[in-house]
Amino acid sequence: MALEDAKTQVDQSFTRETSRGLSYENTFGGALSFARRRYTKDLAGVDVAITGVPFDQSVTNRPGTRLGPRAIREASALQVFDPPYGWDGYDPLTSLSIVDYGDLAFDYAKVAEFPEALTAHIRGILESGAATITLGGDHYISLPILKAYAEKFGPVALVQFDAHSDTWMDDDMSRIDHGTMFYKAVKLGLIDVEHSVQVGIRTENPDTLGITTIDAREVHLEGPVKTAIKIKEIVGDAPAYMSFDIDALDPAFAPGTGTPVWGGLTSAQAAIMLRDLAGINMLGGDVVEVSPPFDTTGATAIAGAHVAMEMLCLWGWTRR
């Protein structure tokens, strides 16, 4: 069946007639969307909308994450032939109505207008009844997204994979910075601090604002299975938002990022933890800080595409 479909399927980003099902279009050809999902602005009956935010104007080191959504979409073409491995046959691409909603439109020369543009973009998707998995872009984008989620659901538990806490003090709410947005999110009451957790941290920031930190060393020593159990105990049944900064992975596995830090998670550790988090009440998520210009192999984008697929599994697992 797959071979027969491969002979006829092409440009499924535009030609597919359903938002469900695997795809057998040649990996190396055709128009690219995330996981060969259909590009559409029609969200009627849609469970999850994939959307890109090509923004990197708040970085403190290397730029290039504006190219992240495009690279993640390209890498995701490798994942559409079979159900994701390790989920007992569960296939979100078939079980869920998933579309590619395209990217956020914004004026790159009016940076001050960007946060509200993004919040409105996500708000519109949530109002339709769909959830979002957002492809970044630098990590600042999580703050405007969290504002939209908190408007609808109230404060959410943050499950953050990252090398950096991104809670450095910054009381100037007009500043657009990818290292202080979770400080602002806590101060604005967007995050349920008691049930939030940061995983993979390996840079110094003494003030955790009450968020539990599981640093990279602890993951290495305790292992990913025990770490996932600990994360689930912290989050409990709280509505959760997951933000995965690709620099949570060691530069050996994800060199294409703006602020790489040695001693990070392996891709295998990340995969085990994400799969073992099945059952958390995940509302939405984002994958950020993929910077393709710094990775000639494409490995970083491949990791980002896998993380996004695991997020789809996590979102759908409790809604089967």
User: How does pLDDT run across 221-230, given as a tens digit for each residue?
Assistant: 999 999 999 9
Name the amino acid, one letter, at 60: T
Q: What is the pLDDT of residues 20-64, one digit of tens each?
A: 999 999 999 999 999 999 999 999 999 999 999 999 999 999 999
CA separation for the pair 272, 37 (Å, rounded): 26
Q: Which fold has domain 2-317?
A: Arginase; Chain A (3.40.800)
By CB neighbour count within 10 A (0-12 exposed, 13-18 middle, 19+ buried), where does 100 fall? buried
Numbered residues of the known binding site for Mn(2+): 139, 162, 164, 166, 245, 247
What is the phi-psi region of residue 137: left when phi exceeds 0, alpha when psi lies from -120 to 50, beta otherwise? left
Which pLDDT score, from 0 to 100, does residue 294 have?
98
Q: What is the DSSP string of 45-64?
A: T-SEEEEEE---TT-SS---
Determine phi and psi for 49, rounding to 5 degrees: -110, 125
Numbered residues of the known binding site: 139, 162, 164, 166, 245, 247
By CB neighbour count within 10 A (0-12 exposed, 13-18 middle, 19+ buried), where does 107 fall? exposed
Using the predicted structure, report yes or no on whether residue 116 has a pLDDT greater than 90.
yes
Which pLDDT score, from 0 to 100, does residue 2 have?
66
What does the domain layout of the chain look like in residue ranges?
2-317
Q: What is the mean pLDDT of residues 189-216?
A: 96
Q: pTM score > 0.85 for this model?
A: yes
Q: What is the pLDDT of residues 163-187, one digit of tens each?
A: 999 999 999 999 999 999 999 999 9
